[in-house]
Amino acid sequence: MASKLKVDALRGELSIRGLDTSGTKPILVKRFEAALQAEEKNKKVVDPDEDGVGNSISDSGRKRKRGTGDPGPQSTVANPSSDDRKDEERIDEERLRKCTVAELRTLAAQRGVSASGTKMELVKRLSKVAEISEENAKEEEAEQIQEEKLVTATKKGGAVLDQWLPEYIKSSFHVLNHGGDFYDAILNQTNVGDNNNKFYVIQALESDDGKKFMIYNRWGRVGIRGQEKLHGPYTSRESAINEFESKFFLKTKNHWSRKKDFVCYPKCYTWLEMDYSEAGKEQMPDKTIKSDDTLLQETKLEARVAKFISLICNISMMKQQMLEIGYNAEKLPLGKLSQSTILKGYDVLRRISDVIEQADRKRLEELSG
């Protein structure tokens, strides 16, 4: 309906038809609906093959307006269907070509683009604006879908299934737990020199009836969905575990059975240890925390460097980054990092801070990788 259009879109449609574009939205809506009704009447006397856009009707409508003040439309456009109404705000190039230079300049001014130039230049300029608006709308829709997915994560058997798993898998599978060990690995590789900041997910899945097993992988740059693949089904738990451990070693050069003694290697992924305990039940480590006096010592770093260090040590930012790779560290819909992993991260940040003071770029790249 016309009432669903924005004011700019209403004025654009009225301008194309040579009608008055002044007034409030209710006035514009009534004016536009009257134009659509007039077009519908004209459509009945036009050859169906012309789709209601015959030049004879357009010309006569223009003459009636000039001669009698009839508020009829300058050109006849078929009444859009309910599906087409969603795209009314976007003006396609074919419709723009039918407008006069004055009408095109009015549309350009309404959309905040230059109104100078030839008719062809105006058409191209307005078409480009319409394409950009459509792309932005698609991006916003994709972001909304991704945000909704984070809310609907599924936790089964003490571990969280990956948010992008197909629904039929979520409903009948859970993360494999064998000997008290969840076969669920979140890997991350960050390297400043190569501009790498990517993740790799490995999950061994067991059907709820315990008869089938699958291996799920998802990988890509942090912050996007990336690519995904399901392997299997496997008929035995051992074959699924072997496949899981093989992929873990291929990406990290570490054996899954010795993951507690994990060693980071250049150009390889790092394992992010997850905490599957319930909220509020985890115990703080016995490691001694520095006193407030030490933490509040005045920095000797240059002001901009000090500000940067305080930024990358911001706990809220770290939690937000974990959410972007699929882990909400606050509400636990997807699990959380273990305390030991967080402390290791802070240790690396401390060493980076020391290296920045020495201006050793090579060492800085090693630590960031």
pLDDT for 222: 83
Report if residue 209 sits inside a domain. yes
pLDDT for 363: 63
pLDDT for 61: 42
Measured distance CA(218)–CA(322) in Å, rounded: 16
Report if residue 113 sits inside a domain. no
Q: Give the sign of the dihedral formed by CA 20, CA 26, CA 29, CA 34.
A: negative
Tens digit of each residue's pLDDT (9 = 90 or more) over 129-165: 777 766 666 666 666 555 544 444 566 767 888 888 9
Report if residue 68 sits inside a domain. no
Report if residue 133 sits inside a domain. no
Report if residue 22 sits inside a domain. no
pLDDT band at 172, cuts 50/70/90?
very high
Please check the confidence at residue 247 and state whether its pLDDT lies above 80.
yes
Which of 57-71, 142-156, 178-192, 313-327 shows the lowest per-residue confidence on average (mean pLDDT)? 57-71
Please check the confidence at residue 202 and state whether its pLDDT lies above 90.
yes
Say which residue the tokens 């606050």 belong to: 330
Report if residue 118 sits inside a domain. no
pLDDT for 349: 67
Q: Give the mean pLDDT of 258-284.
A: 74
Report if residue 312 sits inside a domain. yes
Measured distance CA(239)–CA(233) in Å, rounded: 10
Please check the confidence at residue 249 and state whether its pLDDT lies above 90.
yes
Higher pLDDT, 38 or 46: 38
Write out the H or E segment, with its range, that includes residue 115.
none
User: How large a percentage of the chain has pLDDT more than 70?
Assistant: 58
Q: How far is CA 28 from CA 1, 92, 112, 293, in A?
A: 13, 21, 20, 66
pLDDT band at 204, cuts 50/70/90?
very high
- Are 215 and 303 in contact, with CB atoms under 8 Å apart? no
Tens digit of each residue's pLDDT (9 = 90 or more) over 91-137: 566 777 888 888 888 887 777 778 788 888 888 888 777 777 666 66
Closest CA to 182 of 204, 150, 151: 204
pLDDT for 89: 43
Please check the confidence at residue 239 and state whether its pLDDT lies above 90.
yes
What total number of domains does the chain contain? 1
Report if residue 39 sits inside a domain. no
pLDDT for 367: 60
Containing structural domain, residue 281: 155-368
CA 211 to chain centre: 36
Q: Give the sign of the dihedral formed by CA 232, CA 238, CA 244, CA 247.
A: negative
Please check the confidence at residue 8 and state whether its pLDDT lies above 70.
yes
